[in-house]
A and B are shown apart, each in its own frame.
Chain A
Amino acid sequence: MTDQTTPLVELKNISISFGGIHAVENASVDLFPGEVVALLGHNGAGKSTLIKILSGAYKRDGGDIMINGEAADIRNPRDAKKYGIETIYQTLAVADNVDAAANLYLGRELQTKWGTLDDVAMEANTREVMGRLNPNFKRFKEPVKALSGGQRQSVAIARAILFDARILIMDEPTAALGPQETAQVGDLIKQLKREGIGIFLISHDIHDVFDLADRVFVMKNGKVVGHARTEDVTKDEVLGMIILGKVPPGATPGPGAMKTA
Chain B
Amino acid sequence: MADTVQSTNNSTTSAAKAEGNIIARFFRATEIDTRMLGMIGALLIIWVGFHIMTGGLFLTPRNLWNLSVQTASVAVMATGMVLVIVTRNIDLSVGSILGFTGMVMGVMQARFLPEIFGFNHPAIWVIALICGLIVGGLIGALHGSIIAFLGVPSFIVTLGGLLIWRGATWFVTSGQTVAPMDANFRLMGGGTEGSIGATWSWVVGIIACLAIIAAIVNARRQRKRFAFPRRPIWAEYVLVALGCVIVLGAVSIANDYYWPINIARRYAEANNIAWPEGGLLISQGIAIPVLMAIAVGIVMTFIATRLRFGRYVFAIGGNPEAAELAGIKTRWVTVKIFALMGILCAIAAAISTARLNAATNAQGELDELYTIAAAVIGGTSLAGGMGSIAGAMLGALVMQSLQSGMVLLGIDTPFQRIVVGIVLVMAVWLDTVYRARSK
Contact = CB atoms under 8 A, between A and B. Distances in A.
Interface of A: 55, 57, 76-78, 81, 87, 89, 92-98, 102, 106-109, 111, 115-117, 120-121, 123-124, 138-143
A140 B5 CA distance: 9
A57 B318 CA distance: 19
A142 B385 CA distance: 14
Given A117-B307, A138-B6, A106 B323 contact: yes
A92 B319 contact: yes
Contacts of B223: 120
B315 A98 contact: yes
Contacts of A121: 226
Contacts, number: 94
Given A102-B311, A106-B315, A117-B306, A81 B322 contact: no
A141 B306 contact: no
Nearest to A111: B308
Interface string B296-333: 00000010011110010011111101111111100000
A134 B8 CA distance: 17
B380 to A, nearest CB: 12
Contacts of A102: 311, 314-315
6 contacts: A57-B325, A102-B311, A106-B322, A120-B223, A139-B5, A140-B2
Contacts of B228: 120, 123-124
Contacts of A93: 322
B306 A120 contact: no
B327 A97 contact: no
Given A108-B327, A117-B311, A139-B5, A95 B225 contact: no
B388 to A, nearest CB: 12
B5 A109 contact: no
B9 interface: yes
Contacts of A106: 311, 315, 322-323, 326, 328
The residue among A95, A97, A121, A139 with the most chain B CB atoms within 10 A of its own CB is A95
B49 to A, nearest CB: 34
Interface of B: 1-2, 5-6, 8-9, 222-223, 225-226, 228, 302, 305-308, 311, 314-319, 321-328, 385-386
Contact of A107 (B305, B318, B327): B327
A250 B324 CA distance: 41
B314 to A, nearest CB: 6
A120 to B, nearest CB: 5
Nearest to B4: A141
A124 B226 contact: yes
The residue among B228, B305, B327 with the most chain A CB atoms within 10 A of its own CB is B327
B326 A139 contact: no
Contacts of A95: 314-316, 318-319, 322-323, 326, 385
B307 A141 contact: no
Please report whether the interface of chain A is mostly helix, strand, loop or mixed according to DSSP: loop
B226 A123 contact: yes
B84 to A, nearest CB: 16
A141 B2 contact: yes
A87 B322 CA distance: 11
Contacts of B321: 92
A140 B1 CA distance: 9
Nearest to A78: B327
Contact of B327 (A81, A116, A117, A123): A81
B119 to A, nearest CB: 42
A87 B5 CA distance: 30
Contacts of A115: 307
Given A95-B314, A98-B318, A117-B308, A77 B225 contact: no
A142 B1 CA distance: 9
A138 B9 contact: yes
A217 to B, nearest CB: 23
Given A109-B308, A139-B2, 15 more contacts: A94-B319, A96-B318, A97-B315, A97-B386, A98-B315, A98-B318, A102-B315, A107-B327, A107-B328, A109-B311, A115-B307, A120-B222, A121-B226, A124-B228, A138-B6
Contact of A92 (B314, B317, B322): B322
Which 7 residue pairs spanning A and B have beta carbons closest together? A141-B2, A97-B318, A95-B318, A97-B385, A107-B326, A107-B327, A78-B327
A210 to B, nearest CB: 28
B299 to A, nearest CB: 13
B94 to A, nearest CB: 24
Contacts of A120: 222-223, 225-226, 228
B308 A77 contact: no
B180 to A, nearest CB: 42
Nearest to A80: B327
A77 B318 contact: no
Contacts of A117: 305-308, 311
